[in-house]
Structure 1
Amino acid sequence: MTCHARTRPAAPPNNSSGSSHHLLLSDLVRRPMPRSVRGALVRCVPPHPAQPIHTVWISGLKPEHLHPGSILLSWEPGLGGGMDVTARLRLASAEVLLASWPDLHGDWTTVVHPTLHEVIGLHTALSVATDALHLANHLASR
């Protein structure tokens, strides 16, 4: 898989769905999520909106078990016939609402793509800066 912006490279967390293969978000968006899942963990957001977003279903997983920087999408039928979509971002100490898009119709992956791509890129940059700061502080304390 060639993808420039991605969540932490660690293996997907264990989930009770038994599914560890990647699913293309565009194949899933026209139907409500299965009742057995908590959402779709975003595994890879390519730079171009026309490229597929890779996800994996997550079920029975507590928010604190997700890696910082992980994005979990969930959606359900909206009142206007579309899908109400929510994105949650896992930070080091909490899971926060990243965005919500009410009543999206059709293949809504291009609508959520810019937010997902930017947030993953920002989180990666902040992680690198934090690691560099920790290293600099460690070297300075020697």
Structure 2
Amino acid sequence: MPDDVRGAIVTPSQGRLMATWMPLSGPSRIPQGRVLLSWTVAGEDCTNVTAHLGLAGAQVLLAIWPNLRGDWSGVVHSTVAEVTELHAALRLAIVVLDRLTD
């Protein structure tokens, strides 16, 4: 990871993860429903990866994958995709419930 970023905001798109760097100088808040991945070298050919989820009122620790080896994107892909899709479904359910109760 470059020194001037907090991590990468990732979103699933057509079966792949699309990433945008989140600079240290920018806002510290993770956009709602987005996942911020950050990683550090943990030894020879090992990487520690952390994921945080942006929610309306907070940012929460989503997952930690310690000591991943090689190309670790496949390991985190399913978690990022499932959480992002679940968040979108919950937001839709809230909108529908709000409209039904008005």
**TM-score, scaled relative to structure 1:** 0.66
Structure 1 residue 81: Cα displacement: 3.3
The residue matched to 1:62 in structure 2 has which SS? coil
- 2:28 maps to 63
8 A Cα contact 1:63 1:90, kept in partner? no
Matched, 1:43 2:11: yes
Q: In the alignment, residue 62 of structure 1 is paired with which amino acid?
A: P
Structure 1 residue 137: Cα displacement: 1.6
Q: Tell me the distance in 1 between the aligned counterparts of 2:7 and 2:75.
A: 18
What CA deviation, in whole Å up to 9, does each residue of 1:42-73 have, x standing for no partner? 133444xxxx3110111023333x32111000
Q: Percent identity, aligned pairs only?
A: 42
Following superposition, which runs of at least 4 residues in structure 1 exceed 2 angstroms of deviation?
43-47, 60-64
- 1:93 maps to 57
Larger Rg: 1
- 1:28 maps to none
Q: Tell me the distance in 1 between the aligned counterparts of 2:12 and 2:45.
A: 28
- 1:84 maps to 48
Q: In the alignment, residue 96 of structure 1 is paired with which amino acid?
A: V
Q: Tell me the distance in 1 between the aligned counterparts of 2:62 and 2:43.
A: 22
8 A Cα contact 1:46 1:117, kept in partner? no
8 A Cα contact 2:52 2:63, kept in partner? yes
How many residues align? The count is 101
**TM-score, scaled relative to structure 2:** 0.89
Mapping 1:22-41, distance limit 5 Å: 33-41=1-9
After superposition, the CA RMSD in angstroms is 1.5
**Structure 2, unaligned stretches of length 5 or more?**
none
- 1:6 maps to none
Q: Tell me the distance in 1 between the aligned counterparts of 2:5 and 2:95.
A: 34
The residue matched to 1:78 in structure 2 has which SS? strand
- 1:26 maps to none
8 A Cα contact 1:63 1:95, kept in partner? no
Q: Tell me the distance in 1 between the aligned counterparts of 2:97 and 2:52.
A: 27
